[in-house]
Chain A
Amino acid sequence: MSAPSRVRGMVRTLLALLSLCVASAAWAQEPPPAPDRPLADARQEARAQALFDDIRCVVCQHEAIADSPAGIAADMRQLVREQIAAGRSDAQIRDDLVRRYGDFVLFSPPVRIGTWLLWFGPFVVLLAVAAALLAFARRRRPETAPLSAEEEARLAEILADRRDPDAKPSDD
């Protein structure tokens, strides 16, 4: 490595270190999120963890508070833990959050008139497609009307000539 490039390398390292300090200073202005303090009771902590997966970090793109590194997610986790420790039920905690942030905060939308289509739509689609297929199959049945005597005779003739290649069980 030539001398100038080494100098450049050092300068770059210094600059990078400097910017890391600046960035740290920027973080320092906005206090870092409080570290997670799991609840002492393992069962309560498990309830908290399960709730974290369902609650959306309200400033994030599409992340649960369980996964988000954002400060507000840490605050919300803290809030949920406090409420569990205070003996509130999961439903009460969810209701509180919805009162504060709206339905947006839960990853499972409420079941009400406006979301019926969302919740029941998949099963309606399943039934509708099944019904359409059945109707289609029934409509086509007339095509398989029993053969007339004349046709039966011809069929027997043909079958005697050669075996129907489609009749044997398939190998695929």
Chain B
Amino acid sequence: MIVEAGAFALVLAFALAVLQTGLAAAGRLRRSPVLAGAADGAALASAVAVALAFAALIQAFAVSDFSVANVAANSHTDKPMLYKVAAAWGSHEGSLLLWCLVLTGFGAALARARNLPFGLRTSAVAVQGLLGALFLAFAVFTSNPFERLDPVPFQGASLNPLLQDPALAFHPPFLYAGYVGFSVCFSLAVAALIEGRANAAFWPAWGRWVRPWALASWVLLTLGITLGAFWAYYELGWGGWWFWDPVENASFMPWLAGAALLHSSIVTERRGALAAWSTFLALLAFTFSMLGAFLVRSGVLTSVHAFAVDPERGMMLLAILGFAAGAAFALFAWRAPQLKGGGLFAPVSREGGLVLNNLFLTAAAATVLLGTLYPLILEAATGATISVGPPYFALTFTPLMAVALVVLPAGPFLAWKRADLRGVVQRLAVAFGLALLLAVAGWFAFEPRKILSALGIGLGAWLILGALAETAERIRLFRAPAGETLRRARGLPLAAWGMTLAHAGLGVFVLGAVVESGFRVEAARPLAVGESLQAGKWTVTLNDVRIVEGPNYLAEQGRLTVAVPGGATRQVVAERRFFPAGGQTTTEVGLDFRGLDDVYVVLGERGQTPAGQPGWSVRVWWNPWARLIFLGPAIMAAGGALSLLDRRLRLGAGARKAKAA
């Protein structure tokens, strides 16, 4: 009964989204606040209907209702409750419903955004409704999660055990919230292209309106990607966290476009310039999200993360992508040349710096796009098969980003319109000198000595110190009396703190990524109980292996000791889990967190040691500074969130002022 209600709610949501589009379009054409208000209501109702459908699906999973095909295919009665619930978004159908929930949820929020002018908001609500209608139609007609089974199976096939992990339970909601949040930027961009006259006052306001949505989506996407990378790190058991896998790339492209949009929209807001470019990026970010959905769900790519889905649904998604992006970019090509340019600026200026940022972020996104799609295109065109993996990105993406990061700390020091480069250099000299010293220190501190890694350490330090130098400058740290500094620090807008935090977080990430990839030490060999293995300075001893029973799996559980000269000796537990329901085996990595370093232990298959004793193959990694890889993006997300809070206050202040007037 609840399942039927869910199925009904899903169809209703689709109908409401169509209604929303029609009402908003009519409301806009007739300039009727009544029709527009009805469209807002439909947007809210559509979101509520999808939420009800989603709740019904979760309920079906929670009670293991195997009469629902999707539950039978992805759940099992033995699973812990968290993974029963998480399985609701673990399959293609369920995750598409989550996608629709975020899409309509953001649509409802957009419909309630009272600060937008009537025309722009109504047009955006119409576009958002159309996007909702497209994806809900796809869900209803090709990927309905509520389809029943007859006869009802006695037991479910269970969720892929790799996905039965807390990080992965929470990774998709954040990822999708970010991915799909960009739909609002897309809708606002299309609406702006429809509405935007040669009106110079319009674009700064548009920049201000689009920025909170871009910021929120980018923060959520950052968290989603980081959770996913962390999951890959400790669940897949190969010691790495990013492999330039096509599906990883699919989530990274909207992130890069979103980061570019965050920066270009500042220029549009402050100076009215780059209006066409910001609109383009807003369209691009969600286009990349849709492209990602197509790549992941169509089966055209081989990836560890892809959903196994038939090509027919892939064609439908390609059609949605082609229609939405095609129409939007056609509109862009038509309207963009008519956009007024806005304020002028010298090449060396805050605007110039942000343009440079956009130049490199766009080139980086194009690199990821090329690397992801090229094997597909080449195979279709010539039949030749190639693989594009980490070595390609190390030679293309990394140098592009490295150049961008070297100039980054100067950006916030540049004045708007025209900046004094010599003054900027003087103010950053101390930070640069310190970063150089740290690069030299890095050269001596890590074995084997690597010049590129040392430079990378210097780069990470440069980003952190440069960001701090900018804040120190603003609050006149050590230059003014302490009271004056404190007063200035309190007066600094949250957005400024947010920027410092985000840029420093990027530096923290760079430090972690450089040191981990440059100096990680790996060792592997079969160990009998009582034997040890050496990885760098760490000694790992296999104490015992026993069989333990989990809720829905059986595991070989190895207990190992991690010892280091002059440090504490600690226990880690590494498991090899066997899931009878699906007949799959997964690894559960034993992680010993040592300050910034990880000692990463994987228990492999049972075999024989060279001496002929029974043993287990044990792989150990020493991943120096690995903590920073995940800490950095978390700091970046926190910076974005701080900036978002500031926006809200400012929007609120604006509204209050308007009321008083």
Contacts and interface: CB of A to CB of B under 8 A. Distances in A.
A117 B392 CA distance: 13
A15 B580 contact: yes
Interface string A124-150: 011001100100010010011000000
A144 B367 CA distance: 36
Contacts of A36: 524-525, 617
A146 to B, nearest CB: 14
A23 B582 CA distance: 11
Contacts of B347: 137
Interface stretch (B238-246, B315-323, B538-546): B238-246
B370 A108 contact: no
B396 A119 contact: yes
Interface stretch (B9-17, B46-54, B141-149, B356-364): B356-364
Contacts of B607: 32, 35
B380 interface: no
B526 interface: yes
Contact of B363 (A56, A122, A166): A122
Interface string B531-553: 00000000000000001010001
Nearest to B493: A172
A129 B391 contact: no
A62 B243 contact: yes
B378 interface: yes
Given A49-B522, A103-B384, A172 B270 contact: yes
A115 interface: yes
A39 B245 CA distance: 29
A63 B243 contact: yes
Q: Is the interface of B mostly helix, strand, loop or mixed?
A: mixed
A144 B391 contact: no
B400 A103 contact: no
Given A63-B304, A67-B238, A140-B341, A125 B366 contact: yes
A117 B386 contact: no
Interface in A9-56: 12-13, 15-17, 19-20, 23, 27, 32, 35-36, 38, 49, 53-54, 56
Contacts of B526: 35
Contacts of A19: 554, 578, 580, 583
Contacts of B341: 140, 143
Contacts of B374: 109, 115, 117-118
B304 A118 contact: no
A23 B585 CA distance: 10
A97 B578 CA distance: 34
A84 to B, nearest CB: 17
Interface in B383-406: 384-392, 395-397, 400
A32 B606 CA distance: 9
A107 B246 CA distance: 13
B497 interface: no
Interface string B234-274: 00101110010110000000000000000000000010000
Nearest to B585: A23
B367 A121 contact: yes
A70 B580 CA distance: 20
A105 interface: yes
B310 interface: no
Contacts of A69: 604
Contacts of A12: 78
A6 to B, nearest CB: 14
- Please tell me the size bucket of the interface on B: 35 or more
Contacts of B386: 103-104, 109-110, 115
B116 interface: no
A129 B384 contact: no
Contacts of B569: none
Interface string B579-612: 0100101000000000000000000110110000
Contact of A121 (B246, B370, B522): B370
A119 to B, nearest CB: 7
B414 to A, nearest CB: 9
B473 to A, nearest CB: 12
A32 B364 CA distance: 42
B417 interface: yes
A102 interface: yes
A89 B397 CA distance: 28
Contacts of B608: 35
B271 to A, nearest CB: 9
A107 B400 contact: no
Contacts of A115: 374, 378, 386
Nearest to B355: A133
Given A109-B386, A126-B363, 13 more contacts: A16-B554, A27-B605, A32-B607, A38-B524, A53-B390, A62-B243, A107-B391, A108-B389, A119-B395, A122-B397, A125-B366, A137-B347, A140-B344
11 contacts: A15-B580, A17-B554, A19-B554, A20-B547, A23-B578, A36-B617, A61-B303, A67-B236, A109-B386, A122-B400, A170-B415
6 closest Cβ pairs, A-B complex: A107-B389, A67-B238, A108-B391, A122-B367, A126-B363, A109-B386
